[in-house]
Amino acid sequence: METKNQNIKLIECPRDAMQGLHDFIPTQDKIKYLNQLLKVGFDTIDAGSFVSPKAIPQMKDSAEVFDKIDWQNSTSKLLAIIANQRGASDAVKFEQIAYLGYPLSLSETFQQRNTKRSITTAMEDLKEIQELTIAKDKTLVVYLSMGFGNPYGDPYDAGFVQEFVEKLEKMGVKIISLSDTIGVSNAQNISWIFNQLISQYPDIEFGAHLHSNPATILEKVEAAYSAGCRRFDGAIKGFGGCPMAEDDLVGNMVTEDMVAYFNKENIELGINQEAFIEAQKMALEVFPAR
C-alpha cells in the first residue's frame, strides 16, 4: 500500500519525561540518551529547560547537556523550555536551540503554581520573549497548559481558549500546542477544540501535547489527527508528566503507540526503525523503574 506524506511532526520530549523524577539522572546518561534520540528522525526533541534549579532540580544541567550533545549530525531540531525572560536570554545563546517553549496556563491557579506568576504577567513576559526570539532567529512555541480543563475550578470554555489564541496571534506567535496537563481530555473534546481552532486560525500551527493513561492514547491521537492536527508531542514508554500539576504524574503520550498508529495509516514519518528500537531499550536503562 502506498505511503502518504502528511507532514506529521513528532516531538520527542525526554525533558518532560525526566523533569519530575526524584533521583537525579547523571548528565552523561542524559547526553548519551539524547544522542541516540537524535539518530531516530524526530522533527524536534524537547531536550532541556532553563528554569530555576530549585523548582526543577532535574534540569539544573541543561546548559551542559546542550553544549555536549551531538546535534550537528542530526536533522532533528532542539527545543528548550523557558518560564521567564531570564531563561529565554540563557537559551538563545545556544546556536543548537531552534525553539523556545513557554508554558502559558489557561488556569490562573496553575500559572501561579507552575511559574510563580500571574497570567497577566506571563503575557507581558511573552511579548518580550517573542521579540527576543525573533531578534535571535529562534521560534517561540507556546504551550497552553490546562488546555482541556483544570481541576481547580478556574474558568474554562472554548471562548476562553480562543481569547488566548487571539492574543498570541497578535504577538506573532506561530506555533501553539494544546496541553492536556492532567489527562482530562477525551476524543470528543480533542476533536472539537482542534476543529474549532484550526479552521479559525489557519496561519497558526497547532500541536497536541497530551498526557494520557495507556488505554486512551490511540483514540486521542486519532481524534487530534482527524481534526487536522499534524504536530504531536510524546515520550518513549510514556514516561513523564508535569510535577507541578498533581501529586500523581499522568504520563505522556507513548511515542511507540503514536508511531504504530501512523504506520497503520501508512503515513510516512521518516523514522529510523533501528535507532528507534535502540532508543526504547536505552530508555529502560536511563529511567528508574516506576
Going from N- to C-terminal start, the domains of the chain cover 11-286
Distance CA 70, CA 79 (A): 14
Distance CA 212, CA 194 (A): 17
21: phi then psi, degrees, rounded to nearest 5: -75, 140
* pLDDT at residue number 250: 57
143 and 104 Cβ atoms separated by less than 8 Å: yes
The residue with cell 473534546 is 189
- The superfamily CATH assigns to domain 11-286 is Aldolase class I (3.20.20.70)
Q: Among candidates 4, 79, 60, 44, which has minimal Cα distance to 255?
A: 44
> Cell triple for residue 142?
507556546
Distance CA 262, CA 85 (A): 37
* pLDDT at residue number 164: 96
Q: Mean pLDDT, 10 residues at a time, over the chain (290 residues)?
A: 74 93 94 98 98 93 98 97 96 98 94 89 96 98 92 88 96 96 85 94 96 86 96 92 48 92 94 98 82
